[in-house]
């Protein structure tokens, strides 16, 4: 994948709670600011809703990779991604409010933001290689 991720099977799964006080379109915009190629769906859940989205292929991760470079947080991202590594997937959380303005801030799964985080799970055959591609300088 060195500089090129061609031929790698990747599936990106995104989930974000839509609280009763939130506009679902704002949550959709937050997700699409980081993952512009995902297909979003909002479904009722409990007193609110949940937005789910998905994409296949590394083109779905191109904007994330660009934001990691632009914001100069590749090293921090690498640590978060490695910590979220389990089997054939990498799971991490993004601050929803920060994503809404087109930036990145990693988050904890619960209690850090009053609106809850955006959960991202990336499934692939070689997640360590994917992490290297996402966080490489090249």
- How does residue 69 score in pLDDT terms, banded at 50, 70 and 90? very high
Q: List the one residue out of 18, 120, 7, 13 whose CA is nearest residue 67.
A: 120
**pLDDT number for residue 111:** 59
Classify the C-alpha dihedral 74-72-40-14 as positive or negative: positive
Range among 7-21, 83-97, 102-116 rated most confident: 83-97
Asked whether the predicted pLDDT for residue 5 surpasses 90, the reply is no
**pLDDT number for residue 2:** 42
What are the structural domains of the chain? 10-133 (3.30.1440.10)
pLDDT digits (tens, 9 = 90+) for 100-116: 999 999 998 875 667 78
Average pLDDT over residues 39-61: 92
Average pLDDT over residues 81-95: 96
């Amino acid at each position: 994948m060195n500089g090129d991720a061609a031929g790698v099977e990747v599936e990106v799964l995104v989930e974000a709670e839509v609280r009763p006080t939130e506009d679902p379109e704002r949550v959709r915009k937050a997700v699409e600011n980081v993952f512009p190629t995902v297909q979003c769906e909002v479904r009722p859940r409990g007193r609110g809703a949940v937005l789910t989205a998905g994409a296949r292929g590394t083109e779905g991760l191109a904007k994330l990779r660009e934001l990691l470079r632009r914001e100069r947080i590749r090293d921090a991202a690498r640590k978060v991604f490695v910590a979220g590594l389990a089997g054939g997937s990498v799971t991490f959380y993004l601050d929803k409010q920060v994503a809404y303005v087109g930036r990145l801030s990693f988050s904890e799964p619960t209690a850090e933001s009053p609106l809850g985080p955006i959960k991202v799970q990336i499934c692939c055959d070689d997640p360590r290689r994917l992490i290297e591609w996402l966080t490489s300088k090249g």
